[in-house]
Structure 1
Amino acid sequence: MTSGQQERAAWRVTLANVIYNADTPAGRLFDLLLIVAIVLSVLVVMLESVGEVRAGAGPLLRRIEWVLTGLFTVEYIIRLIVARRASHYARSFFGIVDLLSIAPAYLTLFIPGAQALLIVRVLRLLRLFRILKLARYLSEASVLTQALRASLAKITVFLAVVATLVTVIGALMYVIEGPPHGFTSIPTSIYWAIVTVTTVGYGDIAPKTPLGKGLASLAMILGYAIIAVPTGIVTVGLSQAQARQQSDTACDRCGLSGHAPDARYCRRCANPLPQGDRTGAATPPSLGMTGEAGEGQKG
């Protein structure tokens, strides 16, 4: 490798540490400045959507918006250049978000009003978890994701049942009330059934006949009963996901993980497992079958 190539490689490594590593002072400063720019960009987009503000400061807001878009574009290109594998970054979650955060600005050249989509830049604030050392919250988010994934089949069946119910209730209400009372079609009646069963109750359509009011009362009571179903499904999924996470406690001696949630000894070497990760407080080692813990305390 020539000296010029070494200098270019060193330059890429230095720049990569600044952009991707928040543990260094320069990297932390870069990320904090990036967060400030993202917040400013989101505020500009929000202010531009207000008619009075747009009439008085529209040109200024658009200039600020284009300056920030240019900075974000340069940042995205530099991230691609200094990344170890540009394709991995481009396909990653943050890579896609970074691209989507600048694309709407260029779409405005062809589609008027597309700048409102720039609000997607708020997703870039998720980098705060990495910058502020909040990774432990990401592990809790992974537990929630696992619970939702495990409950997907049950929730799908539940939604299918609810869709069937609101279709039947909507059709019945269309027959009972009809167009004279605002139920002009079955889709409109199904809309009313969805609003009623979900306990939203806009009130834009309401039954007038006694039979229709009786069916509406039944739908409202059914709605309250339905609310508890997905809550129970997700709660069970969360409990199971947390149990699986706790079962990943590794043995201090042999490193084996995947033990049962209530296991106290390693199934491979019978060494006492650390209990502090499960109960929140360390538990003193008890005397095992071989007496090693007790002998260690005596020595």
Structure 2
Amino acid sequence: MFTEEECNSIANLVSQNDWKKVNKFENDKYCITQFSSSLHNSDYHCYKVESGDKVVVVKITSESEFLILELLKKDGLPVPTPFKFLNFNENNKEGYLFEEYIDGSQLGLNSSKEAWLNTAVQLAEMHLKYWEFNSVSSMFDNGNSLYMSKIDIILSNSYVEQKWPNLIEKILEKLHQTPRTIIHGDAFPSNFLVQNDKIVLIDFGNCTILPYVVDIARLTYLPYDVNSFFCPNKEEVLDVYYEKVKSQLQISKDEFIIHVKMAAFIEIAKEYRNPICNYTGLSISQSPFDKFMSEILEELAKDLI
């Protein structure tokens, strides 16, 4: 691992470089490469730092992520080892997280079925580890705030409320009754690294305590396009997850799937909108969110209304 002085030097180099113009910086001691975001081309302040035979990941994030990684690593979960946190903003406790570099490929459409199933197993094992977990620690506040902001957006969606009256409230009430645990909070495929079909979980900036089903719903129900999901083995992934947690749930597979669909609704409903139609009444363009959310809502309406 790098020394305190080296960590400060690396942090200075990261802060001084204009990453909007270049994604790589080199001098006589360090090679720093910015990781690219796989979603929405958003700014992703995460970097691979190499110096001789030493490699580390540096991420601009909150101190909470460092503390969460410490907790998960201590409890034996497959996450990067957190080495150090350098605070640069006392007000919001943001800074530079130095963590272990994991040499693996992102989970994706081309990953093996075994990798997808193992991801479901790892999520289930993390959830079971902290089943009905209670904590007043502020390290979970960021993820909880992000989740509540999704709900606020959904509640303000007048189109959904007009088409499915009171359904949102019923979904939220039902989810509130499900078991809670520590969740990853952003179970997008790129946040799981594959090493010979073994899975390492990364990027815990949204980690919080929420209904157990939030992660597996996001992993399996995010649409890739209007005809398919990011998860190519959705039914089998859900089966594997359910088999791991069913002894704690004590509900049927059908009831579990309702939980999944409710959580999927929360995860992507903020993207759902009234389809734009041309003069013939046909939809001009339909995003994958529109198609799948309509199907999910129709199914939930049958079960909950």
TM-score by length of 2: 0.25
Greater strand share, 1 or 2?
A: 2
TM-score by length of 1: 0.25
Higher relative contact order (CA 8 A, sep 6+): 2
